[in-house]
C-alpha cells in the first residue's frame, strides 16, 4: 500500500511539474506571492483534474498546495529562490533554488521549516496528506520562480522587478490554457525552465550587447518593440524601445510593457 501511495504521489507531483513547465514555457508567468502563485496553483490543479478522472484533487488539497506556494516566500526563504542554470549559482551566500528544494537541514533553520521535495514524498507515503501537499506547494513555488528572468539571471531588485509587477497586474486577463510537458525528475523541471527563461528573456538590468542578436526589432503603430523568438517557434514582444542612449546599438529600455504577447510574428 505504501508503494502504491508512493507511486501515486510521484505521478501527481511529476504531473504538476509537467504542467508548470508548460505554463511557463508558453506564458512565462510570474510570481506575486498573494496573487500569481495562488492563481497558478489553482490553474495547475484544474488542469491536473481535467486529465485525471479518478484521482481528482479536492478543494482541501488544492488549498494546501496554494498555502505552501504562498508560504515559500516567507522572509528570508526567498533569498534561496534564484538559480542561473549556466553556472549553477544562486544569490551569493545562499543555495540555488534547485538545491534549496532538497536542502532539508538548511530549511529547518528558516521560518517555515523543512518543506523539501523529499519531505513532500515521505509525508504522502506516510499518510500525512496535509503536510505532503503543503510541501509540494513550496516546491512548485520554486519551479515557478524559474520562469522569471530576474531569478535565472541573478538580477535582484530591492523594489519590484518590472516584469513581476506586470504579471501581478495582468495574470488574470492574460492566462492561456496550458498542456503537459514530459520530464523525468525534479532537477529536469528546474533546469529546463531556468534555461528557457535565461536564454530567451532578459531582466531589467541584464540587457547586454552580447544578447542583441537574439532580440529582433519590429515596428507596430510607430512604436519599436524588441521581440524574442524561442526554439519552439513562439515569438514574444518583450519591451517597447523608448529611447536611445549614446551609441545607437545600446538602447535603453525604460519600461517593460509586456512580459508575454505570444505569436507576434510567427
Instruction: List residues binding Zn ion (CB under 5 A).
Output: 78, 81, 145
Task: Please state, in angstroms and rounded to a whole number, the distance separating the CA atoms of residues 57 and 51.
Answer: 11
Task: Please state, in angstroms and rounded to a whole number, the distance separating the CA atoms of residues 151 and 9.
Answer: 28
Give me the least distance between CB of 188 and Zn ion, in Å please: 20
The nearer residue to Zn ion, 81 or 237, going by C-beta atoms, is: 81
Give me the least distance between CB of 239 and Zn ion, in Å please: 23
Strand locations in 68-176, DSSP E? Answer: none
The nearer residue to Zn ion, 28 or 227, going by C-beta atoms, is: 28
Q: What angle do CA 178, 70, 151 make, to 5 degrees?
A: 70
Q: Are 57 and 45 in contact (CB under 8 A)?
A: yes
Give me the least distance between CB of 97 and Zn ion, in Å please: 8
Give me the least distance between CB of 2 and Zn ion, in Å please: 32
Listed in sequence order, the residues at least 6 apart from 184 whose beta carbon sits closer than 8 Å to its beta carbon are: 14
Q: Which three cell numbers stand for residue 115?
A: 518543506
The nearer residue to Zn ion, 44 or 264, going by C-beta atoms, is: 44
Report how far apart, in Å, the C-alpha atoms of 95 and of each of 40, 102, 117, 118 are. Answer: 24, 10, 15, 17
Q: How buried is 120 (Cβ within 10 angstroms: 0-12 exposed, 13-18 middle, 19+ buried)? A: buried
Q: Are 68 and 99 in contact (CB under 8 A)?
A: no
Give me the least distance between CB of 31 and Zn ion, in Å please: 6
Give me the least distance between CB of 141 and Zn ion, in Å please: 6
Q: Which three cell numbers stand for residue 21?
A: 513547465
The nearer residue to Zn ion, 29 or 227, going by C-beta atoms, is: 29
The nearer residue to Zn ion, 145 or 230, going by C-beta atoms, is: 145
The nearer residue to Zn ion, 70 or 145, going by C-beta atoms, is: 145
Number of H helices, E strands in the chain: 10, 5
Amino acid at each position: 500500500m505504501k508503494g502504491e501511495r508512493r507511486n501515486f504521489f510521484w505521478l501527481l507531483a511529476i504531473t504538476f511539474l509537467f504542467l508548470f513547465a508548460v505554463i511557463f514555457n508558453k506564458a512565462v508567468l510570474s510570481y506575486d506571492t498573494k496573487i500569481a502563485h495562488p492563481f497558478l496553483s489553482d490553474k495547475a490543479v484544474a488542469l491536473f483534474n481535467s486529465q485525471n478522472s479518478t484521482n481528482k484533487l479536492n478543494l482541501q488539497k488544492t488549498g494546501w498546495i496554494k498555502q505552501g506556494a504562498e508560504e515559500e516566500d516567507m522572509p528570508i526563504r526567498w533569498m534561496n529562490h534564484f538559480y542561473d542554470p549556466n553556472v549553477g549559482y544562486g544569490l551569493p551566500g545562499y543555495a540555488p533554488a534547485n538545491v534549496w528544494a532538497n536542502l532539508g537541514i538548511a530549511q529547518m533553520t528558516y521560518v517555515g521549516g523543512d518543506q523539501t521535495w523529499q519531505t513532500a514524498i515521505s509525508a504522502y507515503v506516510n499518510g500525512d496528506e496535509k503536510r505532503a501537499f503543503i510541501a509540494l506547494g513550496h516546491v512548485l513555488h520554486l519551479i515557478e520562480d524559474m520562469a522569471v528572468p530576474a531569478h535565472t539571471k541573478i538580477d535582484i531588485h530591492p523594489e519590484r522587478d518590472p516584469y513581476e509587477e506586470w504579471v501581478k497586474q495582468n495574470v488574470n486577463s492574460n492566462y492561456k490554457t496550458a498542456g503537459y510537458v514530459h520530464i523525468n525528475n525534479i532537477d529536469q523541471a528546474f533546469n529546463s525552465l531556468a534555461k528557457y527563461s535565461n536564454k530567451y528573456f532578459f531582466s531589467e538590468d541584464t540587457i547586454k550587447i552580447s544578447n542583441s542578436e537574439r532580440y529582433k526589432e519590429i515596428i507596430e503603430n510607430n512604436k519599436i518593440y524588441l521581440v524574442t523568438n524561442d526554439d519552439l517557434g513562439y515569438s514574444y514582444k518583450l519591451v517597447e524601445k523608448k529611447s536611445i542612449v549614446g551609441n545607437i546599438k545600446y538602447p535603453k529600455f525604460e519600461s517593460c510593457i509586456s512580459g508575454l504577447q505570444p505569436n507576434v510574428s510567427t
